[in-house]
Amino acid sequence: MMERVKRIAGYLAESGTSAMLVMQPENRLYLSGFTGSSGAVLVTEKKSFLITDFRYIEQAKQQSPHLEIYKLRETMEDTLADMVSSLGLKSITFEADYISYHCYEQLKGKLQGVELKPATGVVERGRQVKDSGELLAIARSMSLLDDGFDFICGRIKPGITEQELEFELETYLRQKGASGPAFPFIIASGPRSSLPHGTATDRVIGYGDLITLDFGVVLDNYNSDMTRTVALGEPPAELKKIYSIVLEAQLAGLAAVRAGITASSADSAARQVIESYGYGGYFGHGTGHGVGLAVHEAPRLSSRDNTVLLEGMVVTVEPGIYLPGVGGVRIEDSVVVEKDGCRVLTKSPKDKLIILA
């Protein structure tokens, strides 16, 4: 973890900045290993600190032995003013896409004579490529989802509600070791499956329904994410056709993912398949996203993201087709980008629409 801090110190040397203040929760966790809800990391070229309040001092010492623990005063601004004075800091880089304007004004008022320099993506760029320990943690988290999918397919019966399925699935995953859901589970059945983010309701599931199951968990601080669409009994022919198109698109996206291509190229590979069947207007989101300490992080597999994919990135591939009032299909795997392709972490079956009795 100290290597991560050293990379930020190297950035400071290159940019001619005295220090960097890191407050965004996942960035703070990435540099410190600290899981408390309050705190900041201050990196300088020579020393680095974890600032937190009384409630977390003991925890911080245990989780962040590579950092000097600094007890928070009344406010973060007051604390930083003390540190600026004692360390002789002349400039501080801050996370421009996280610090609010109000917080910026508070800092500016307290840190007289200190140049505040906005920056974006400094820590996030390092987070995009996972080390071996991170890849192992994500793989373990993903393995739980495969177990969960197998479990929940056995619970889908006529008369059960979406919310009951959500409760049973989350309970099962927690019992298997997950610390919690990565996001509110998407369990959308029947016509509601056309809602890309259709969270569970009290709708009763019946024969002929498609059910989209998009879920993920947090395990050892790392997130996982997968989606499968299944049917209870025989669905309408149009929805079976859509499933086969989405599967073809998803396989095309997977085949495109490898180190050296752009994120937008991977998106295009999947999107072109859906467009070729005339359903382009019913696929309105990106093909995927990065997964790590956050369940949705860079890079984004979308037409607007020209990030070059690198070995060790973890991304999802999840095209979909959504027909309002009829239903929808999405299939999602999480994969590790490798030199000549990708390694699929999601093992749950998808080769044909699963029709549950």
Identify whether residues 83 and 134 lie together within a single domain: no
Q: Answer yes or no: do 266 and 301 share one domain.
A: yes
- The percent of residues above 90 in pLDDT, for the chain, comes to 99
The residue-averaged pLDDT of 115-137 equals: 97
**Do residues 320 and 246 make contact, with C-beta atoms less than 8 angstroms apart?**
yes
Write the CATH number for 21. 3.40.350.10
Residue 1 pLDDT: 85
Q: Which helix (H) or strand (E) holds 41?
A: strand 40-44
**Predicted model pTM:** 0.94
The position carrying tokens 């190229």 is: 265
Q: Label residue 357 by pLDDT band (50, 70, 90).
A: confident
pLDDT tens-place string over residues 41-90? 999 999 999 999 999 999 999 999 999 999 999 899 999 999 999 999 99
Assess whether 211 and 350 both reside in one domain: yes
Percent of the chain with pLDDT over 70: 100
Shared-domain flag, residues 24 and 164:
no
Does residue 158 share a domain with residue 80? no
Q: Using one digit for the tens of pLDDT, what is the confidence trace for 288-336? A: 999 999 999 999 999 999 999 999 999 999 999 999 999 999 999 999 9
> Given 127, 153, 171, which residue is the final one in a domain?
127
Same domain, 140 and 231: yes
Domain enclosing residue 20, as ranges: 1-127
Task: Provide the token pair at 50.
Answer: 């974890």
Instruction: Please check whether residues 158 and 287 belong to one and the same domain.
Output: yes
pLDDT, averaged across the chain: 97
Residues pairing with 302 in the sheet: none
Last residue of a domain, one of 127, 143, 159: 127
Question: What element of type H or E holds 218?
Answer: strand 217-219
Specify whether 206 is located in the same domain as 348: yes
- Candidates 19, 13, 30; CA nearest to 294 is 30
Q: Which of 102, 127, 152 is the last residue of a domain?
A: 127
275: burial class by Cβ within 10 Å (0-12, 13-18, 19+)?
middle
Q: Residue 263 is part of a domain; what is its CATH number?
A: 3.90.230.10
One domain for residues 165 and 252: yes
Question: From CA 276, how far away is CA 255, in angstroms rounded?
Answer: 17
Coil vs helix vs strand at 118: strand
Query: Does residue 191 share a domain with residue 96?
Result: no
pLDDT, mean of residues 79-103? 95
Same domain, 65 and 108: yes
Q: Is the CA virtual torsion 240, 245, 248, 254 positive or negative?
A: negative
Helices 162-175 and 132-153: angle between axes, nearest 10 degrees: 130
Question: Cα–Cα distance between 229 and 239 in angstroms, integer?
Answer: 11
Q: How confident is the model at residue 287 (pLDDT cuts 50, 70, 90)?
A: very high
Q: Are residues 55 and 169 in the same domain?
A: no
